[in-house]
Amino acid sequence: MKTQIMRALAMKNKPLVLLTVISGTVLSSLAVAQDVRMDPNYGSTDLSAGFLPDPQLVEVAIGGELDAGNADSSCYGYISDAPDYRLDYQAAGWGLGIYTSSELDTTILINTPDGEWVCNDDNYNLANLNAGYYFDDPQSGEYNIWVGAYFEEDVFGDAVLAITESPEDNWQIDLSPNFSSNIFSLRVLNNGNEVQTGLATLVTDNMVITNEALVAQGDQWIIENPQNGASLVASITATDETAGLALLTVNGIEGSPINLSYDFPETGRNIALGLAQENRQGVLQSIVETDQGISQIRHTALADDGEYGAALLNNCGEMIGISQHSSPVLSNRLRPDQDFAFSANLDSIRTFLTSNNVDYYEAFDVCLSEAELLALAEDKIREQEAILIDLFEEQEILEEERLRLQEATEELLAEQEALAAENQARLEELQAREAELEASQEAIAQAEAEQLELQERQEQLEQEAQEREEALAEAARQQEVDARNRMYQWSGFGIVVIALFGFVVMQVRKRRRSQDEAEKNIQQVKQQSQEIEEQLQKASAEFPDIVLLGKDEQGAESRLKINGNALIRSENGQLIGRSAQHADYVLNIETVSRKHLRVMVRDHKIYVEDLQSANGTAINGSVLSPGQQYELNAGDSLKVGLVTYQVNLLEKQE
């Protein structure tokens, strides 16, 4: 048995796509690819409200090379660049429906008179997931229509485009190519005269199936295509009088073989008699047994003269039976005025075709009823709504997590920036202190050089003064001798000598004042040198490290080591607290405040000051008053918050 596989997995996993109205301005990229001005592939028509016949049918080949998704993400499939069909419609209060019928999965794209685009992939009023759109209040004007293929491998497959004014729930669901390409007229001749007419259905590439009672009435059989009027001579391949079935071979016949139903529909389901122009609707009533044990279908899709042998169809257009012209085994139960008919059963058809080695086609899955299709669509809608809700909730959770991570990242970056700034400030402070120390050392060296120069100058002045005094003393002695010898001769010269002596004395006194000023400068330089020396001593001062060993109230050990050299060099001491941004030494303990206490060194002694901490500070059990400085010695008990530490001094190693 040959089974036609109709992309079952693809259809079952196909996403639900609802009708979408798309603005023409949004689809500017589509307009570049699909040109409404191009001549349509399959013609055009002008219709006014109330047109007949309704529906208007156009056979088309679906799809093309362009991706319909260019229109919008909700529009799937493949279409041509030119419209497939153009409708010029004059509206007058009627609705307007445009839909497809095909064994293949179709897409429909419509450009409305106002330039907007509508797209649909699945309309659940139709069978086989065909596409369609209904305008409640249609515009007058030009509608350009594209019929696309949902799957690329279906491009150029057959479809029927239907234009109707009937509401969606009244749309015919059996307009697939099977309707027009697998139903044929059967003429039965006997001795060259026509004795009966009926219908036959294509089941494989060159064979049709019909009612045995029809073909039994003649000796020649003519198959006619109602679409093009072509006539072909047929030959009987096999018959089964009991089942009421006949198989005819027709060479040169063209059409699409019908699919046998995957299963038999339930009692009460809608069925139809497959006719060449318009199917006749009915209801499946029951399955009855013939006198020879053959199952036949009892239904209300009555056949008129010339319609016997027609295929009985489910709502998916699949064959479930063959209409009977007469049934000898049931003739005693039939009346001309009865409102029901009989057809050969699906099981009998399968058995008949298989026994004659006919490689027939079969549907890939169960045919769902209109109510089941609607329920399936509703289930898919609810499923997608639930998925959307879950996605929205998940998106909200992810957004909250993203915001939390963003805030945490910003806090970490702020802390890093604060630490970097603090480290940079400490580095700059250290560099400034190093520069001050270097400048102090240079100033000391310069002062020492100036002091040495002043000492040398003082010694030189003292030597010059002594030499002058000795010279003056010697001159005075010589003058005294000369004065004695020449008292009278040189009296006038004595006055000059006295005046000269007075001048010399004045110069000596002046030099002594200069010497005093030099001495004063030397003293100032010595004082500056002493201050620099004190700074150097402070910079090189050593102080033992302070080690705090303690336990909290739960017995957890806590240890803190304070650098003594850094502490003695700090002007305002160093802070202990819980915050790394504010404290020099961090105690990550909840009872410790962010800035808890200050530690400092004065006169080589340790002092502590509570900084208005929440849980206070105590030395040897005595609570410290905030803002007051208290001496701290080695061996003391220091309580910080709720943790008590033993104070130890760690001397520097030589």
d(C-alpha 201, C-alpha 468), whole Å: 156
Q: Which of 151-160, 586-595, 618-627 has the lowest mean pLDDT?
A: 151-160
Q: Which of 26-35, 216-225, 438-447 has the lowest mean pLDDT?
A: 26-35
Angle at 520 between CA 517 and CA 525, to 5 degrees: 130
Q: How many CA within 13 A on the CB side of residue 49?
A: 14
pLDDT at 334: 39
C-alpha torsion angle, residues 167, 168, 169, 170 (rounded to 10)? 60
Higher pLDDT, 621 or 454: 621
Could you read off the pLDDT of 127-147 as tens digits, one per residue?
Answer: 667 899 999 999 999 999 999
Burial of 292 from C-beta contacts in 10 A (0-12 / 13-18 / 19+): exposed
Distance of CA 181 to the CA centre of its chain: 48
Give the residue-averaged pLDDT of 221-226: 83
- pLDDT category at 26 given cuts 50, 70, 90 is very low
- pLDDT category at 577 given cuts 50, 70, 90 is very high
Higher pLDDT, 236 or 467: 236
pTM metric for this prediction: 0.38
CB 12 within 8 A of CB 267: no
Could you read off the pLDDT of 177-196 as tens digits, one per residue?
Answer: 334 468 899 999 999 899 99
Could you read off the pLDDT of 579-602 as tens digits, one per residue?
Answer: 989 899 999 898 999 999 999 999
pLDDT at 372: 74
Give the residue-averaged pLDDT of 498-513: 70
- pLDDT category at 446 given cuts 50, 70, 90 is confident
In this structure, what are the phi and psi dihedrals at residue 319, rounded to the nearest 5 degrees? -75, 130
Cis peptide before 167 (omega within 30 of 0): no
Q: Which of 12-21, 106-115, 364-373 has the lowest mean pLDDT?
A: 12-21
d(C-alpha 625, C-alpha 645), whole Å: 19
d(C-alpha 40, C-alpha 34), whole Å: 11
pLDDT at 537: 63
Higher pLDDT, 35 or 45: 45
d(C-alpha 24, C-alpha 117), whole Å: 6
Percentage of residues of the chain with pLDDT beyond 70: 81
On the question of pLDDT at 19 being above 50, the answer is: no
Q: How far lies 597's CA from each of 541, 613, 640, in Å? A: 24, 7, 8
Terminal Cα-to-Cα distance of the chain (whole angstroms): 103
Give the residue-averaged pLDDT of 171-179: 53
Closest among 180, 85, 175 to 128, alpha carbons compared = 175
pLDDT at 534: 63
Residue 405 identity: L
Q: Which of 276-280, 295-299, 594-598 has the lowest mean pLDDT?
A: 276-280
CB 619 within 8 A of CB 608: yes
Q: Name the β-bridge partners of 606.
A: 601, 632
d(C-alpha 565, C-alpha 279), whole Å: 107
Could you read off the pLDDT of 298-317 as tens digits, one per residue?
Answer: 999 888 888 899 999 998 88
d(C-alpha 315, C-alpha 262), whole Å: 13
Burial of 310 from C-beta contacts in 10 A (0-12 / 13-18 / 19+): buried
Kind of pairing between the strands at 78-79 and 20-22: unpaired
Percentage of residues of the chain with pLDDT beyond 90: 36
Higher pLDDT, 151 or 372: 151
CB 447 within 8 A of CB 455: no
d(C-alpha 536, C-alpha 380), whole Å: 87
Average pLDDT, the chain: 81
Q: Which of 108-122, 493-507, 562-576 has the lowest mean pLDDT?
A: 493-507
Q: What is the DSSP string of 23-38?
A: -TTTTHHHHHHS-TTS
Cis peptide before 53 (omega within 30 of 0): yes
On the question of pLDDT at 514 being above 70, the answer is: no
d(C-alpha 330, C-alpha 347), whole Å: 19
On the question of pLDDT at 366 being above 60, the answer is: yes
d(C-alpha 626, C-alpha 635), whole Å: 23
| Structure tokens given for 612 | 């208005």
In this structure, what are the phi and psi dihedrals at residue 34, rounded to the nearest 5 degrees? -105, 120
**What secondary structure letter does DSSP report for 595?**
S
Closest among 202, 193, 187 to 308, alpha carbons compared = 187
**What secondary structure letter does DSSP report for 419?**
H
CB 341 within 8 A of CB 288: no
Q: Which of 203-207, 453-457, 508-512 has the lowest mean pLDDT?
A: 508-512
Length of the chain: 654
- pLDDT category at 328 given cuts 50, 70, 90 is very low
